[in-house]
Amino acid sequence: MEVLGVKHYSRRTEKAYLHWIRRYLEFHRRRHPRLLAEKDVNRFLTHLAVNEHVATSTQNQALAALLFLYQHVLQQPLDRIEGVVRANRPKRLPVVLTRDEVAQVLNSTTGLPRLVVSLQYAAGLRVLEALQLRIKDLDFAAGELVVREGKGDKDRRSMLPASLHDPLRRHLDQVRRRHNRDLERGDGRAPLPHALARKYIHADRSLPLGCAILLLVLPLELALGKMVFGRLPSSSGNRRIRTEQ
């Protein structure tokens, strides 16, 4: 876990890698991975394809986790792994919604879920990218937003459509009022990435446009003994869409 954190892997990647490393060890009856070699990795990956019928992307993720384990954790890089039975990659046509179908999805949601789904559609954001937006990442004047640490740990700019300016401003007003009430109680903190909480002691409480308070918030929840801003579950937007399909 420490090595994953040092390399700034996303939390989802950390969780996935730990899952596959655990599965790998259980498959080999908890033998120490230093005692296992390329043929053992081959057996595990082949088992996933032949017996568990996993998708190609799943098998590739398991392989990436094991390569990370041997190269970065054990400092014991693997040689070329040959003869692995690869999972089949079925050819599928992408599902593209019409404008009417997009409107039906948007109209089926309300409140914060609607704001999240609208950001995903209009700005081309992934679910977690929309949920992790911070106030400082919005530029209403330029009609832009900044995605921080997106896929591949890369930042990028995207459009901020004028149709979302008013809904976002109304939401920010609610966040400001709630934040001020929380500060009066000694709460109102937001989680900060990496070591920023130590570097900027009061940044987790500030709310100007240069702040680091999470934009999309739910009622306060208890975390690490402090009241902090919570986030919408990353599955909430996807659940709303699936329900309407």
Same domain, 135 and 175: yes
Q: Does a structural domain hold residue 84?
A: no
Where is pLDDT greater, at 84 or 49? 49
| Averaged pLDDT, 11-20 | 90
The residue among 2 and 34 whose pLDDT is bigger is 34
Q: What is the span of the domain harbouring residue 152?
A: 99-244
Half-sphere exposure of 45 (CA within 13 A, CB side): 26
Position 52 confidence tier, pLDDT thresholds 50, 70, 90? very high
Residue 80: partners with Cβ closer than 8 Å, 6 or more residues away = 38
pLDDT tens-digit profile of 182-225?
777 776 666 666 666 666 666 666 654 334 344 554 433 333 33
CATH code of 56's domain: 1.10.150.130
Query: Are 107 and 196 in a shared domain?
Result: yes
Residues 38 and 129 in one domain: no
pLDDT tier at 87, thresholds 50, 70, 90: confident
233 has a pLDDT exceeding 80: no
What pLDDT score does 193 carry? 64
pLDDT greater than 90 at residue 137: no
Task: Please enumerate in sequence order all residues whose Cβ is within 8 A of that of 114, keeping only pairs 6 or more positions apart, or say none.
Answer: 106
Six-digit token string for 150: 């997106």
pLDDT exceeds 60 at position 132 = yes
CB within 8 Å of 49: residues ≥ 6 apart: 59, 84, 85, 86, 87, 88
Task: Retrieve residue 244's tokens.
Answer: 């309407």
Which CATH number do you get for residue 148?
1.10.443
For the ranges 12-26, 140-154, 229-243, the one whose mean pLDDT is highest: 12-26
Mean pLDDT within 80-105: 84
What pTM was estimated for this model as a whole?
0.62
Considering the domain architecture, whether residues 68 and 109 belong to the same structural domain is answered as no
Q: Is residue 129 part of a domain?
A: yes
Within this chain, do residues 59 and 108 fall inside the same structural domain, yes or no? no
One domain, residues 117 and 198: yes
- Is residue 216 domain-resident? yes
What sign has the CA pseudo-torsion 11, 12, 17, 20?
A: positive
Tell me, what amino acid is at 140? F
Q: What is the per-residue pLDDT for 196?
A: 63
Q: How confident is the model at residue 164 (pLDDT cuts 50, 70, 90)?
A: very high
Q: Within this chain, do residues 141 and 211 fall inside the same structural domain, yes or no?
A: yes
Number of domain units in the chain: 2
